[in-house]
Amino acid sequence: MTSATLPFSALDLAPIVEGGTAADAFRNTLDLAQHAERWGYRRYWLAEHHNIPGIASAATAVVIAHVAGGTSTIRVGAGGIMLPNHSPLVIAEQFGTLESLFPGRIDLGLGRAPGSDRATAHALRRDLASSAEQFPQDVVELRQYFRAPRPGGINAVPGAGLDVPLWILGSSLFGAQLAAALGLPYAFASHFAPDALDQALAVYRSRFQPSEQLERPWAMACVNVVAADSDAEARRLFTSMQQSFVNLRRNVPGPLPPPVESMDGLWSPMEQAGVEHALAESFVGTVDTVTDGLRRFVERTRVDELMINGQIYDHAARLRSFELAAQVRERLAG
Protein backbone atom coordinates (compact mmCIF):
# COMPACT_ATOMS: atom_id res chain seq x y z
CA MET A 1 0.00 0.00 0.00
CA THR A 2 1.52 3.32 -1.05
CA SER A 3 0.76 6.61 0.63
CA ALA A 4 -1.07 7.63 -2.58
CA THR A 5 -4.02 5.48 -1.52
CA LEU A 6 -3.55 5.39 2.25
CA PRO A 7 -6.93 5.68 4.00
CA PHE A 8 -7.27 7.62 7.25
CA SER A 9 -9.77 6.59 9.92
CA ALA A 10 -10.72 8.07 13.29
CA LEU A 11 -10.71 6.59 16.79
CA ASP A 12 -12.92 8.34 19.35
CA LEU A 13 -12.83 7.58 23.08
CA ALA A 14 -15.83 9.92 23.56
CA PRO A 15 -13.86 12.00 26.07
CA ILE A 16 -15.63 13.49 29.08
CA VAL A 17 -13.72 16.68 29.79
CA GLU A 18 -13.36 18.47 33.11
CA GLY A 19 -16.54 20.45 33.63
CA GLY A 20 -18.39 18.39 31.01
CA THR A 21 -20.81 15.47 31.04
CA ALA A 22 -21.30 12.23 29.13
CA ALA A 23 -24.16 13.93 27.27
CA ASP A 24 -21.72 16.61 26.10
CA ALA A 25 -19.30 13.90 25.02
CA PHE A 26 -21.93 12.16 22.90
CA ARG A 27 -22.93 15.41 21.18
CA ASN A 28 -19.29 16.11 20.41
CA THR A 29 -18.75 12.56 19.18
CA LEU A 30 -21.56 12.84 16.65
CA ASP A 31 -20.38 16.27 15.53
CA LEU A 32 -16.83 15.02 15.00
CA ALA A 33 -18.12 11.95 13.12
CA GLN A 34 -20.19 14.13 10.79
CA HIS A 35 -17.15 16.31 10.09
CA ALA A 36 -14.91 13.25 9.63
CA GLU A 37 -17.35 11.92 7.04
CA ARG A 38 -17.14 15.19 5.09
CA TRP A 39 -13.34 15.21 5.38
CA GLY A 40 -13.05 11.77 3.80
CA TYR A 41 -12.20 9.54 6.76
CA ARG A 42 -12.96 5.89 6.00
CA ARG A 43 -14.00 4.63 9.45
CA TYR A 44 -15.10 6.04 12.78
CA TRP A 45 -14.45 3.67 15.66
CA LEU A 46 -15.39 3.81 19.33
CA ALA A 47 -13.74 1.91 22.15
CA GLU A 48 -15.10 -0.07 25.08
CA HIS A 49 -13.81 1.08 28.48
CA HIS A 50 -15.46 0.73 31.87
CA ASN A 51 -15.22 2.66 35.13
CA ILE A 52 -13.00 5.36 33.59
CA PRO A 53 -14.40 8.83 34.38
CA GLY A 54 -12.99 10.40 31.22
CA ILE A 55 -14.40 7.94 28.67
CA ALA A 56 -18.11 7.85 27.83
CA SER A 57 -18.24 4.93 25.35
CA ALA A 58 -18.79 2.04 27.79
CA ALA A 59 -22.02 0.99 26.04
CA THR A 60 -20.13 0.87 22.78
CA ALA A 61 -22.81 -0.63 20.53
CA VAL A 62 -25.29 2.02 21.67
CA VAL A 63 -22.88 4.85 20.85
CA ILE A 64 -22.13 3.25 17.47
CA ALA A 65 -25.86 3.36 16.72
CA HIS A 66 -25.94 7.04 17.74
CA VAL A 67 -23.08 7.85 15.34
CA ALA A 68 -24.25 5.67 12.46
CA GLY A 69 -27.76 7.17 12.71
CA GLY A 70 -26.33 10.67 12.35
CA THR A 71 -24.04 9.89 9.40
CA SER A 72 -24.64 8.33 6.02
CA THR A 73 -21.50 6.96 4.35
CA ILE A 74 -18.62 6.59 6.83
CA ARG A 75 -18.09 3.12 8.27
CA VAL A 76 -18.77 3.03 12.01
CA GLY A 77 -17.54 0.38 14.38
CA ALA A 78 -15.87 -0.81 17.53
CA GLY A 79 -12.20 -0.29 18.14
CA GLY A 80 -12.91 -2.36 19.96
CA ILE A 81 -15.30 -4.60 21.81
CA MET A 82 -13.45 -6.31 24.66
CA LEU A 83 -14.73 -9.81 24.05
CA PRO A 84 -13.79 -11.28 27.47
CA ASN A 85 -16.50 -9.03 28.94
CA HIS A 86 -19.28 -10.60 26.86
CA SER A 87 -20.76 -13.77 25.48
CA PRO A 88 -20.09 -14.05 21.73
CA LEU A 89 -23.80 -14.57 21.05
CA VAL A 90 -24.76 -11.24 22.64
CA ILE A 91 -22.13 -9.40 20.58
CA ALA A 92 -23.33 -11.14 17.41
CA GLU A 93 -26.89 -10.02 18.18
CA GLN A 94 -25.80 -6.44 18.92
CA PHE A 95 -23.73 -6.07 15.77
CA GLY A 96 -26.24 -8.01 13.70
CA THR A 97 -28.77 -5.41 14.82
CA LEU A 98 -26.41 -2.58 13.87
CA GLU A 99 -25.71 -4.14 10.46
CA SER A 100 -29.45 -4.57 9.88
CA LEU A 101 -30.04 -0.90 10.72
CA PHE A 102 -27.02 0.45 8.83
CA PRO A 103 -26.18 -2.14 6.14
CA GLY A 104 -22.67 -2.16 4.75
CA ARG A 105 -21.32 0.34 7.29
CA ILE A 106 -20.52 -1.62 10.48
CA ASP A 107 -17.11 -2.91 11.63
CA LEU A 108 -16.44 -5.12 14.65
CA GLY A 109 -12.96 -4.84 16.14
CA LEU A 110 -12.20 -7.31 18.93
CA GLY A 111 -9.74 -7.10 21.80
CA ARG A 112 -8.88 -9.50 24.59
CA ALA A 113 -8.06 -6.90 27.27
CA PRO A 114 -10.88 -6.22 29.73
CA GLY A 115 -10.88 -2.47 29.20
CA SER A 116 -11.07 -2.09 32.98
CA ASP A 117 -9.48 -3.14 36.25
CA ARG A 118 -10.00 -6.52 37.92
CA ALA A 119 -12.76 -5.32 40.24
CA THR A 120 -14.66 -3.83 37.32
CA ALA A 121 -14.14 -6.98 35.27
CA HIS A 122 -15.67 -8.95 38.12
CA ALA A 123 -18.62 -6.54 38.17
CA LEU A 124 -19.10 -7.28 34.48
CA ARG A 125 -19.85 -10.91 35.50
CA ARG A 126 -16.89 -12.46 33.70
CA ASP A 127 -13.87 -14.27 35.11
CA LEU A 128 -10.93 -12.24 33.85
CA ALA A 129 -8.26 -14.93 33.61
CA SER A 130 -10.31 -17.68 31.98
CA SER A 131 -12.11 -15.23 29.66
CA ALA A 132 -8.84 -13.85 28.28
CA GLU A 133 -7.52 -17.36 27.72
CA GLN A 134 -10.74 -18.21 25.91
CA PHE A 135 -10.41 -15.28 23.50
CA PRO A 136 -9.40 -17.23 20.35
CA GLN A 137 -12.25 -19.71 20.82
CA ASP A 138 -14.67 -16.85 21.47
CA VAL A 139 -13.63 -15.15 18.22
CA VAL A 140 -14.22 -18.37 16.29
CA GLU A 141 -17.60 -18.82 17.98
CA LEU A 142 -18.55 -15.23 17.20
CA ARG A 143 -17.63 -15.64 13.55
CA GLN A 144 -19.86 -18.74 13.37
CA TYR A 145 -22.86 -16.67 14.46
CA PHE A 146 -22.51 -14.51 11.34
CA ARG A 147 -22.58 -17.50 9.00
CA ALA A 148 -25.80 -18.82 7.44
CA PRO A 149 -28.51 -19.85 9.93
CA ARG A 150 -28.31 -23.43 11.16
CA PRO A 151 -31.64 -25.25 11.47
CA GLY A 152 -32.02 -26.53 14.99
CA GLY A 153 -28.87 -24.71 16.12
CA ILE A 154 -28.30 -21.54 18.10
CA ASN A 155 -28.54 -18.56 15.77
CA ALA A 156 -27.96 -14.86 16.24
CA VAL A 157 -31.19 -13.09 15.33
CA PRO A 158 -30.35 -10.73 13.78
CA GLY A 159 -26.80 -11.58 12.82
CA ALA A 160 -26.85 -14.93 11.04
CA GLY A 161 -25.99 -14.52 7.37
CA LEU A 162 -24.92 -10.89 7.69
CA ASP A 163 -21.60 -9.46 6.54
CA VAL A 164 -20.03 -7.84 9.59
CA PRO A 165 -16.25 -7.58 9.06
CA LEU A 166 -14.26 -8.73 12.09
CA TRP A 167 -10.93 -7.17 13.05
CA ILE A 168 -8.41 -8.31 15.64
CA LEU A 169 -7.00 -5.53 17.80
CA GLY A 170 -3.76 -5.91 19.65
CA SER A 171 -0.64 -4.44 21.19
CA SER A 172 1.47 -7.62 21.27
CA LEU A 173 2.39 -10.59 19.13
CA PHE A 174 -0.62 -12.60 20.38
CA GLY A 175 -3.17 -10.60 18.39
CA ALA A 176 -0.94 -10.57 15.32
CA GLN A 177 -0.67 -14.37 15.39
CA LEU A 178 -4.42 -14.81 15.87
CA ALA A 179 -5.36 -12.37 13.12
CA ALA A 180 -2.96 -14.12 10.76
CA ALA A 181 -4.25 -17.60 11.61
CA LEU A 182 -7.90 -16.58 11.12
CA GLY A 183 -7.28 -14.47 8.02
CA LEU A 184 -8.63 -11.27 9.59
CA PRO A 185 -7.50 -7.65 9.33
CA TYR A 186 -5.28 -6.47 12.17
CA ALA A 187 -5.22 -3.14 14.01
CA PHE A 188 -2.28 -2.32 16.29
CA ALA A 189 -2.68 0.02 19.27
CA SER A 190 0.55 1.95 18.79
CA HIS A 191 -1.14 5.11 20.12
CA PHE A 192 -0.49 3.88 23.67
CA ALA A 193 1.59 0.68 23.39
CA PRO A 194 4.15 1.11 20.61
CA ASP A 195 6.85 -1.36 21.65
CA ALA A 196 5.89 -4.44 19.60
CA LEU A 197 4.52 -2.63 16.54
CA ASP A 198 7.17 -3.53 13.97
CA GLN A 199 7.56 -7.12 15.15
CA ALA A 200 3.79 -7.67 15.31
CA LEU A 201 3.33 -6.39 11.75
CA ALA A 202 6.10 -8.69 10.52
CA VAL A 203 4.55 -11.70 12.28
CA TYR A 204 1.09 -10.88 10.96
CA ARG A 205 2.23 -10.52 7.36
CA SER A 206 4.49 -13.57 7.35
CA ARG A 207 1.93 -15.92 8.89
CA PHE A 208 -1.26 -14.67 7.23
CA GLN A 209 -3.68 -17.33 5.98
CA PRO A 210 -6.34 -16.17 3.47
CA SER A 211 -9.97 -16.46 4.57
CA GLU A 212 -13.47 -15.86 3.24
CA GLN A 213 -13.23 -12.32 4.58
CA LEU A 214 -9.72 -11.39 3.45
CA GLU A 215 -7.40 -12.61 0.70
CA ARG A 216 -4.24 -10.80 1.80
CA PRO A 217 -3.02 -9.11 4.99
CA TRP A 218 -4.52 -5.74 5.87
CA ALA A 219 -2.77 -3.94 8.71
CA MET A 220 -3.85 -0.73 10.38
CA ALA A 221 -1.94 1.19 13.05
CA CYS A 222 -3.47 3.74 15.41
CA VAL A 223 -1.39 6.82 16.23
CA ASN A 224 -2.01 10.05 18.11
CA VAL A 225 -2.28 13.23 16.08
CA VAL A 226 -2.65 16.67 17.63
CA ALA A 227 -2.49 19.23 14.85
CA ALA A 228 -2.87 23.00 15.08
CA ASP A 229 -1.93 26.13 13.19
CA SER A 230 1.36 26.38 15.11
CA ASP A 231 3.69 23.83 16.64
CA ALA A 232 3.51 25.62 19.98
CA GLU A 233 -0.30 25.49 20.08
CA ALA A 234 -0.31 21.79 19.15
CA ARG A 235 2.16 21.01 21.93
CA ARG A 236 -0.05 22.92 24.38
CA LEU A 237 -3.14 20.96 23.32
CA PHE A 238 -1.20 17.71 23.67
CA THR A 239 -0.67 18.35 27.39
CA SER A 240 -4.27 17.24 28.05
CA MET A 241 -3.41 13.74 26.87
CA GLN A 242 -0.11 13.80 28.76
CA GLN A 243 -1.85 14.79 32.00
CA SER A 244 -4.44 12.07 31.47
CA PHE A 245 -1.73 9.42 31.12
CA VAL A 246 -0.01 10.66 34.27
CA ASN A 247 -3.30 10.30 36.14
CA LEU A 248 -3.76 6.77 34.80
CA ARG A 249 -0.28 5.81 35.99
CA ARG A 250 -1.10 7.20 39.42
CA ASN A 251 -4.32 5.13 39.41
CA VAL A 252 -6.46 8.27 39.70
CA PRO A 253 -8.15 8.46 36.29
CA GLY A 254 -10.45 11.39 35.78
CA PRO A 255 -12.06 13.58 33.13
CA LEU A 256 -9.79 14.90 30.38
CA PRO A 257 -8.04 17.97 31.86
CA PRO A 258 -7.61 21.31 30.11
CA PRO A 259 -4.23 21.98 28.50
CA VAL A 260 -1.44 23.76 30.31
CA GLU A 261 1.43 25.88 29.05
CA SER A 262 4.02 23.50 30.46
CA MET A 263 4.14 20.06 32.08
CA ASP A 264 6.98 21.19 34.31
CA GLY A 265 6.16 20.30 37.90
CA LEU A 266 3.17 18.16 36.90
CA TRP A 267 5.10 14.92 36.50
CA SER A 268 8.18 13.33 37.99
CA PRO A 269 11.13 12.43 35.74
CA MET A 270 10.09 8.78 35.94
CA GLU A 271 6.49 9.61 35.04
CA GLN A 272 7.65 11.80 32.18
CA ALA A 273 9.81 9.02 30.77
CA GLY A 274 6.99 6.50 31.05
CA VAL A 275 4.37 8.73 29.43
CA GLU A 276 6.66 9.85 26.63
CA HIS A 277 7.50 6.20 25.92
CA ALA A 278 3.82 5.18 25.83
CA LEU A 279 2.98 8.13 23.57
CA ALA A 280 6.02 7.73 21.33
CA GLU A 281 3.87 7.33 18.21
CA SER A 282 2.34 10.80 18.58
CA PHE A 283 2.56 13.42 15.86
CA VAL A 284 2.12 16.91 17.24
CA GLY A 285 2.39 20.18 15.32
CA THR A 286 1.43 21.95 12.13
CA VAL A 287 0.41 20.20 8.91
CA ASP A 288 4.05 20.33 7.78
CA THR A 289 5.35 18.84 11.03
CA VAL A 290 2.75 16.07 11.18
CA THR A 291 3.18 15.26 7.49
CA ASP A 292 6.92 14.76 7.91
CA GLY A 293 6.41 12.51 10.92
CA LEU A 294 3.63 10.40 9.43
CA ARG A 295 5.50 10.00 6.15
CA ARG A 296 8.39 8.42 8.04
CA PHE A 297 5.98 6.26 10.06
CA VAL A 298 4.20 4.97 6.95
CA GLU A 299 7.46 4.29 5.12
CA ARG A 300 8.73 2.33 8.12
CA THR A 301 5.61 0.29 8.85
CA ARG A 302 4.05 -0.01 5.37
CA VAL A 303 0.60 -0.03 6.99
CA ASP A 304 -2.45 -0.26 4.75
CA GLU A 305 -4.46 2.22 6.82
CA LEU A 306 -3.89 4.79 9.54
CA MET A 307 -6.25 5.39 12.45
CA ILE A 308 -6.03 8.77 14.12
CA ASN A 309 -6.65 9.30 17.83
CA GLY A 310 -6.78 12.81 19.27
CA GLN A 311 -7.78 13.45 22.88
CA ILE A 312 -8.16 17.23 22.91
CA TYR A 313 -9.97 19.20 25.60
CA ASP A 314 -11.55 21.93 23.48
CA HIS A 315 -14.02 20.56 20.94
CA ALA A 316 -13.33 23.25 18.35
CA ALA A 317 -9.61 22.57 18.59
CA ARG A 318 -10.28 18.85 18.25
CA LEU A 319 -12.30 19.43 15.10
CA ARG A 320 -9.50 21.58 13.72
CA SER A 321 -6.93 18.87 14.49
CA PHE A 322 -8.87 16.22 12.56
CA GLU A 323 -9.43 18.69 9.71
CA LEU A 324 -5.69 19.36 9.51
CA ALA A 325 -4.98 15.63 9.69
CA ALA A 326 -7.15 15.20 6.59
CA GLN A 327 -4.91 17.78 4.90
CA VAL A 328 -1.93 15.65 5.94
CA ARG A 329 -3.55 12.68 4.18
CA GLU A 330 -3.76 14.72 0.97
CA ARG A 331 -0.14 15.84 1.37
CA LEU A 332 0.96 12.21 1.70
CA ALA A 333 -1.01 11.33 -1.41
CA GLY A 334 0.73 14.15 -3.26
Element of type H or E holding 77: strand 75-82
Q: Which of 231, 263, 262 is nearest to 245 (CA)?
A: 263
**Spatial separation of the C-alpha atoms in residues 178 and 203, rounded to whole Å:** 10
Residues sharing a CB contact under 8 Å with residue 52, sequence separation 6 or more, in sequence order? 116, 253
Q: What is the pTM of this model?
A: 0.95
Residues sharing a CB contact under 8 Å with residue 296, sequence separation 6 or more, in sequence order? none
CB atoms within 10 A of CB 123: 12
Please say whether the beta carbons of 8 and 306 come within 8 A. yes
- Kindly report, residue by residue over 28-74, the tens digit of the pLDDT: 999 999 999 999 999 999 999 999 999 999 999 999 999 999 999 99
**Spatial separation of the C-alpha atoms in residues 311 and 320, rounded to whole Å:** 12
pLDDT at 2 over 50: no
- Kindly report, residue by residue over 144-166, the tens digit of the pLDDT: 999 999 999 999 999 999 999 99
Residues sharing a CB contact under 8 Å with residue 226, sequence separation 6 or more, in sequence order? 234, 237, 238, 241, 282, 283, 284, 310, 312, 321
| Residue 225, strand partner residues | 283
pLDDT bracket for residue 120 (50, 70, 90): confident
Please say whether the beta carbons of 166 and 108 come within 8 A. yes
**Spatial separation of the C-alpha atoms in residues 229 and 233, rounded to whole Å:** 7
